[in-house]
Amino acid sequence: MLKDFVGKTAVITGAASGIGRAMAERFAREGMRVVLADVEDAPLQAAAVELRALGGGSESDVIAVRTDVRKLDEIEALRDRAVDAFGKVHVLCNNAGVGTGGFTWDTTNADWEWVLGVNLWGVIHGVRTFLPGMIAHGEEGHVVNTASMAGLVAGPFMGPYNVSKYGVVALSETLLHELRMAAPQVGVSVLCPGFVSTRINESGRNRPAELPAREAVDAAQAGVGGPQLQTLMSERIAAGTPPPEIAAEVFEAVREGRFYILTHPEMKPAIESRFSAIMGDGVPGSPGFV
């Protein structure tokens, strides 16, 4: 576990807004040097300016690197910038995430490629690119992979998102066992929040042109399972937990060396119901939003 944060370096993807932005600020307030990464450049640079103001306006403790986490070469460039600037990376937060929705049989290959590319391959690239250096320098460190309650309980209309988040949970659990055997000075946590007041429902704003969204064929295919459910999801997200509260729980989990970060205890019964169904050869229930 990592207990001494002052002067250490944190790299956060998806850091221009939402949970990533809040984590970056929390780590900065704890005296860490911070590397912000995001595909949305203008908000990324604005976030860097705001974080620099916390430390007196200096660029020496905060840098921003535009990064598309789907692309290995850009993750490698992010690592190189971080190491060139600060020497060592101690905390890696693979946080970038997007979402799309609809019936699974209506989901396009472009939908799958985009969501899995960001949510799952982004984490894979981050782990493979940063961890060797974090292990090699020998100091305490920690990896935080952002999954979701959707990585523990699968609801309807979220096929690519659910699959990506289940993958992040599985990857993180595997990593936990491997690090305990090979590099116990590096910890790992998997963040599984419920509804958080972010812009995840607007993630189409960053969808790459080469993976375009299909125009809705009819109202039933619009949004996440239809306009009514899309509106409900947007309302739930808007009323969700503020990102700084999630960031505070992430920080405590890193300091304590805690693996699962379940920020919404009211959703734990859904997890229990799923595993009861597995053990009883039953049918899994819905997470509760439909």
Main-chain dihedrals φ then ψ at residue 146, nearest 5 degrees: -85, 115
| Percent of residues in the chain assigned helix, strand, coil, to nearest 5 | 50, 15, 35
Question: Is 171 in contact with 123 (CB distance < 8 Å)?
Answer: yes
Whole-angstrom Cα distance, residue 141 to residue 196?
A: 26
246 Cβ neighbours under 8 A, 6+ residues apart: 19, 22, 23, 191, 193, 196, 263
Question: Which long-range CB contacts under 8 A does 248-251 form with residues at least 24 apart?
Answer: 248/26, 250/23, 250/26, 250/93, 250/144, 250/189, 250/191, 251/23, 251/26, 251/27, 251/30
Q: Cα angle at 71 between 250 and 1, to 5 degrees?
A: 25
Of 2, 38, 145, 122, whose CA–CA distance to 72 is shortest?
122
Whether residue 166 lies in the annotated active site = no
Instruction: Spot the catalytic one: 27, 161, 166, 195.
Output: 161
Of 80, 90, 94, 118, whose CA–CA distance to 34 is shortest?
90
Q: Which positions are annotated as active-site residues? A: 161
